[in-house]
Amino acid sequence: MRGPIHTWLALALALILAVVVGACAGHDWATPADLWRAAAGDQALRSRLLVDWRIPRVLAAALVGALLGLGGVVFQGVFRNPLAEPYLLGSAGGAALGATVALLVPLAMPQSILLPLLAFAGAWGATVLVIGISRVSGAVDAAGMLLAGVAVAAILGALRSFLMLALSDETVSLQIVLSWVLGGVQTPTWPVLGLLALISAGCLGLTLLLAGRLDVLGLGETMAVAFGLNVTRFIAVAVLAGSVVVAAAVAFGGLVAFVGLAAPHIARWMVGPLHRPLLPATALVGAIIVTLADAIARAALPPAEIPLGLVTAVAGGPFFIMLLARRLRT
């Protein structure tokens, strides 16, 4: 890991701070002292609620943020475009369609397996579709791919809405599907949280394996080939890996917009564009963003909870517009 050591310390400290703030926030605010008591094994009801509900939720939010960040780095690296984002390019939409099918269509498989599987298939299919459309139409440049992604995302969104209208009845709750679409971290049990942590660590390892080749691809296709990269095969592999990451993020956090866009940018300002330091830095930044956004989602309008995806969209939309304006100027 390169980059100055104080940058990493600052990121780690900021994440710890964000987790503490997140654990305190809620419609019933806790103090850090309450957290300390609960963590120490206090059996009072308030402490038990903190340990069983709020702390796992906050940690899950951090992990989902890390996954969204990693997905963003991989997609920006593959598309060689800092405006690429899983949410904009349709792969998150594909994952959400897969998840919707898993939730609404009665299939002969337990939902806990079906949902991540279909989410992955959706994310991968949508991304391959976007790359295919932009290749066939000859618009392999960034703008062409973004437009293809927007179109695919719109179609997938319409399909998902149709499925929700056609298939939901009294037995299947629309509420669950809606909470996916709008983005929101479910409160996991501690074993599920452990599983999520394992998946996140696996995704970090998986994307780190791509880091050196993502750097080479960033030199442009001609130089990447000249430097010995099999570009076509690598892009296929990287898209597959990126889809795994996006599917994991969507399976646990629903459709959360703009984190995959903003987190890599902020991390790039801090550690530079080389992917080996960028990936872990982006995971940390993504974790901080989603932890704080989730805290806002839970605490802003008590007792109601605002969907997480709305919070990140309201904050991330202007960020995207700013980046777009800056790019169009240059």
Neighbours of 42 (CB within 10 A): 15
* 131, two tokens: 């790359």
Neighbours of 141 (CB within 10 A): 12
The three-class DSSP label of residue 121 is: helix
Closer Cβ to other proteins, 37 or 80, answer by number: 80
Residues 245-284 that bind other proteins (CB under 8 A): 272-274
CA angle 232, 237, 241 (to 5 degrees): 145
Question: Is the distance from CB of 1 to CB of 208 less than 8 angstroms?
Answer: no
Q: Under the criterion CB under 8 A, does residue 216 sit at the interface with other proteins? A: yes
Q: Under the criterion CB under 8 A, does residue 215 sit at the interface with other proteins? A: yes
Smallest gap, in angstroms, from Cβ of residue 129 to other proteins? 23
CA proximity to 88, closest of 75, 99, 98: 75
Smallest gap, in angstroms, from Cβ of residue 86 to other proteins? 18
Smallest gap, in angstroms, from Cβ of residue 35 to other proteins? 40
Smallest gap, in angstroms, from Cβ of residue 218 to other proteins? 5
Query: What does the buried/exposed string (b/e) look like for 9-19 if buried means 16 or more CB atoms within 10 Å of the residue's CB?
Result: eebeebbeebb
Q: Under the criterion CB under 8 A, does residue 222 sit at the interface with other proteins? A: yes
Contact map string, positions 227 to 246, toward other proteins, x by CB under 8 A: xxxx----------------
Among 16, 198, 223, 321, binds other proteins (CB under 8 A): 223
Among 220, 302, 317, 318, binds other proteins (CB under 8 A): 220
DSSP 65-109: HHHHHHHHHHHHHHHT-TT--TTTTTHHHHHHHHHHHHHHS--SS
Contact map string, positions 56 to 85, toward other proteins, x by CB under 8 A: ------------------------xx----
Q: Under the criterion CB under 8 A, does residue 225 sit at the interface with other proteins? A: yes
- The stretch near other proteins (CB under 8 A) out of 186-194, 219-227, 296-304, 321-329 is 219-227
C-alpha distances (whole Å) from 101 to each of 119, 149, 168, 283 are 9, 21, 11, 29
Q: Under the criterion CB under 8 A, does residue 188 sit at the interface with other proteins? A: no
Smallest gap, in angstroms, from Cβ of residue 228 to other proteins? 3
Smallest gap, in angstroms, from Cβ of residue 78 to other proteins? 11
